[in-house]
Chain A
Amino acid sequence: MALPDLKQDPTEARLARLTLPEGGCLAPARQEALARLRAMGLPQRRDEYWKFTRPDALIQPDPIPASVGVLDETPIFDAIDRLKIVFVDGVFDPEASDDLTLEGVQIDRIADICGKDIHWTKDIFGVLEARGQTPVARPLAALSTAFATDGVAIHVTGKPAKPISLIYRHENETSDVLLHHVIRVDPGAVATILENGPAAARLNKVTEIDIADGGTLHHVRAQGRDHERRAATHMFTRMGEGSVYKSFTLTVNGVLTRNEQVVELTGDNAIAHVAGACVGDGDFHHDDTVFITHDAQNCESRQVFKKVLRNGAVGVFQGKILVKPGAQKTDGYQISQSLMLDDDSQFLAKPELEIYADDVACSHGSTSGAIDEEGLFYLRSRGVPKGEATDLLTQAFLAEALDEIEDKTLSEDLLERLRGWLTRRR
């Protein structure tokens, strides 16, 4: 079926700027992704899935330039012993990165794998992304599969002693970056992946994660402070029996961010927690789109998203729990909440449950509110100035999301960024 011109023209205009990498073991996946993309077309304003977020800036042929921010605080995760993998405007920087050797994990550059005839990555690269294209199309993810030449392949074979930290630096005002990571967690293996930094003026990133039976992956991400950046990220996670996936994203600033999480629970007794906190001031649009599919018994999934908005900032949450036939004893939970610090901001939420099994417990809730006046007066009556009291209540609002992070050193580090943001805006 041919695409309407409305979709085909912008799609081809975008593709005209890109070159499909050839050869090597990933080439077939790239060609298939390109075919998928051409069949779907890039997202348009009229697409139901993009109803609350205008995709224009994400799909236009050239990125809108974004000035490079100057960090006036200690970089996040700075005090944490970790294996650093640095990308500067989307290109792996071996000088700035650590030696990639670490017991319990094998790390390769996607750029290096491209030249090889055989590599484990090909079983996952583009495969999980393709699975995630139904029932809802995610064309920007196919774009990264087809064209991204950099990224890392992380094969967790054991229990690496420290987190693997992906650091994205933004140095070029017009950088337009496609990244693609693949993570495989072996049975019983456990790892923590950290991500931070603004990455580029425009970032289009895909991470495919395959967690085998009994494997555990913790993921904590902070999306960087450069205000003018735009980003579309996708994480596709397939989970085996008894596996655990816990992901948290903190977003401060960013004029446009769309974070999609697609999780498929394919083995019994698996646990998936996806959470996020964002704080936005003014020209800020943040979209969390989550799709969790329960396709096995006795699995637990949890979505906790909190947004603090002011001066016209916009927060979007589209979260779905799909329980397939036979996925009995599913425990699904979803909450999305916004705290509006003024009357100008907007929170748009679309919580969805679709359930085809009869013995499940699923709940969802969404709220939107202002600072609690009673609490504010109580704090002020004890001598806490209004600004400080408001910050305290704002932190308290976000705390429930931050509590989702198991490692308290990490959550404290994120809280520190939030405090910084609040203080800068007092």
Chain B
Amino acid sequence: MLEIKNLHVQLKEEDKQILKGVDLTVEPGKVHAIMGPNGSGKSTLSYVLAGREGYEVTEGSATLNGVSLLDMEPEARAAAGLFLAFQYPVEIPGVGNMTFLRTAVNAQRKARGEDEMSATDFLKLVRERAKALKIDADMLKRPVNVGFSGGEKKRNEILQMAMLEPKMCILDETDSGLDVDAMKLVADGVNALRDEGRGFLVITHYQRLLDHIKPDVVHIMAAGRIIKTGGPELALEVETNGYADILNEVA
């Protein structure tokens, strides 16, 4: 599904290396988690994969089902099946949430050479998916993320994911700013989307999200590299001992 090889990335503006050779493969149907201390490059990895400007790939590759992502425009990556749930979802005043969702769904269908979804089908689908995430009609009408609480913004990310049905989902600190109930809601939303054809990459600081979204593989990232890979027990180890032991062990 997602295959990252020896990925080196630096900031365009300043000569600063962020990723220093990331190797990672996410298989279909699997949930991989990346944990790591602040500044280790976790969010950069998600942005680079989604195609955000400001980064320069100096070495390595990233492919989705064998297709190279790095030369594609962000919209083409999305149409190819990549989805990034933002750590800080962006507010877009003046654009209704529903308009946004319909535009996105149909743009992706168009890019894949499929017919646009009819207004009726779309409405039916969005209502059904929104209901599961406890997103009410008002939230669908309001401008995208404007005036949304932290929890509402994250639920809105998951709704977009549910509507767009991507092949590969990257969740960048989706648990940040969520209380326990909201985290449960978001995790349920993600779990509902788990199936054997879909891969997940869950970036988080804390183990608690992984209680709800059970990972198959856990990676520890530090200083721009994956330094350790293991099973779910690795997350528990971090929770108990922090990163210090692992960092020392590798060093």
Residues of A within 8 A of B (CB): 372-375, 377-386, 388-389, 392-393, 395-397, 399-400
Does B79 sit at the interface, judged by CB under 8 A?
yes
Offer 23 A-B interface pairs, CB within 8 angstroms, sorted by A. Answer: A374-B90, A377-B90, A378-B86, A379-B92, A380-B74, A380-B78, A381-B51, A381-B52, A381-B74, A381-B75, A381-B77, A381-B83, A381-B86, A382-B164, A383-B75, A383-B78, A383-B104, A383-B164, A386-B75, A392-B103, A395-B95, A396-B92, A396-B93
Residue of B nearest to A392 (CB): B95
CB pair B89–A381 under 8 Å, yes or no, is: no
User: How far is A77 from B116 in the complex, measured between Cα atoms in Å?
Assistant: 29
Residue of B nearest to A403 (CB): B94
Instruction: List 20 other contacts, CB 8 Å, given A375-B90, A377-B90, A380-B74.
Output: A374-B90, A375-B91, A379-B92, A379-B103, A379-B104, A381-B50, A381-B51, A381-B75, A382-B160, A382-B164, A383-B78, A383-B108, A383-B111, A383-B164, A386-B73, A388-B103, A392-B95, A393-B94, A395-B94, A400-B94
User: How far is A382 from B103 in the complex, measured between Cα atoms in Å?
Assistant: 9
CB pair A393–B92 under 8 Å, yes or no, is: yes
Residue of B nearest to A399 (CB): B94
Residues of chain A contacted by B99 (CB below 8 angstroms): 392
Residue of A nearest to B108 (CB): A383
Majority-rule SS of A interface residues: helix
CB pair B92–A384 under 8 Å, yes or no, is: no
Could you say which of A393, A395, A396 has the most chain B C-beta atoms within 10 Å of its C-beta?
A: A396
Residues of chain A contacted by B90 (CB below 8 angstroms): 374-375, 377-378
Minimum Cβ distance to chain A for residue B11 (Å): 15
Minimum Cβ distance to chain B for residue A220 (Å): 20
Does B107 sit at the interface, judged by CB under 8 A?
yes
Residue of B nearest to A375 (CB): B92
Residue of B nearest to A385 (CB): B75
CB pair B103–A384 under 8 Å, yes or no, is: yes
CB pair B107–A385 under 8 Å, yes or no, is: yes
**Which among A375, A381, A395, A396 is the interface contact of B84 at CB below 8 angstroms?**
A381
Could you say which of B74, B91, B103, B143 has the most chain A C-beta atoms within 10 Å of its C-beta?
A: B74
Residues of chain A contacted by B73 (CB below 8 angstroms): 380, 385-386
The 4 closest A-B pairs by CB, nearest first: A396-B94, A383-B78, A383-B108, A382-B104
Does B53 sit at the interface, judged by CB under 8 A?
yes
CB pair B78–A382 under 8 Å, yes or no, is: yes
User: How far is A201 from B92 in the complex, measured between Cα atoms in Å?
Assistant: 40
**Which among A380, A388, A389 is the interface contact of B51 at CB below 8 angstroms?**
A380
Residues of chain A contacted by B143 (CB below 8 angstroms): 396
User: How far is A76 from B51 in the complex, measured between Cα atoms in Å?
Assistant: 40
Minimum Cβ distance to chain A for residue B182 (Å): 21
User: How far is A167 from B100 in the complex, measured between Cα atoms in Å?
Assistant: 36
Minimum Cβ distance to chain A for residue B98 (Å): 13
Minimum Cβ distance to chain B for residue A20 (Å): 50
Q: CB-defined interface of B64-102 with A at 8 Å, one 1/0 digit per residue?
A: 000000000111011100011010011111110001100
Minimum Cβ distance to chain B for residue A94 (Å): 43
CB pair A383–B107 under 8 Å, yes or no, is: yes
Residues of chain A contacted by B77 (CB below 8 angstroms): 381
User: How far is A354 from B33 in the complex, measured between Cα atoms in Å?
Assistant: 61
CB pair B94–A384 under 8 Å, yes or no, is: no
Minimum Cβ distance to chain B for residue A339 (Å): 11
Residues of chain A contacted by B89 (CB below 8 angstroms): 378
**Which among A372, A375, A381, A395 is the interface contact of B78 at CB below 8 angstroms?**
A381
Minimum Cβ distance to chain A for residue B79 (Å): 5
CB pair A396–B95 under 8 Å, yes or no, is: yes
Residues of chain B contacted by A389 (CB below 8 angstroms): 75
Minimum Cβ distance to chain B for residue A338 (Å): 15
User: How far is A373 from B108 in the complex, measured between Cα atoms in Å?
Assistant: 21
CB pair A393–B104 under 8 Å, yes or no, is: no
Minimum Cβ distance to chain A for residue B114 (Å): 12
A377/B74 contact (C-beta < 8 A), A383-B111, A392-B103 known? yes
CB pair A383–B92 under 8 Å, yes or no, is: no
Minimum Cβ distance to chain B for residue A329 (Å): 30
Minimum Cβ distance to chain B for residue A292 (Å): 26
Could you say which of A377, A382, A385, A399 has the most chain B C-beta atoms within 10 Å of its C-beta?
A: A382
Residues of chain B contacted by A388 (CB below 8 angstroms): 103, 107
Residue of B nearest to A398 (CB): B94
Minimum Cβ distance to chain B for residue A242 (Å): 32
Residues of chain B contacted by A400 (CB below 8 angstroms): 94
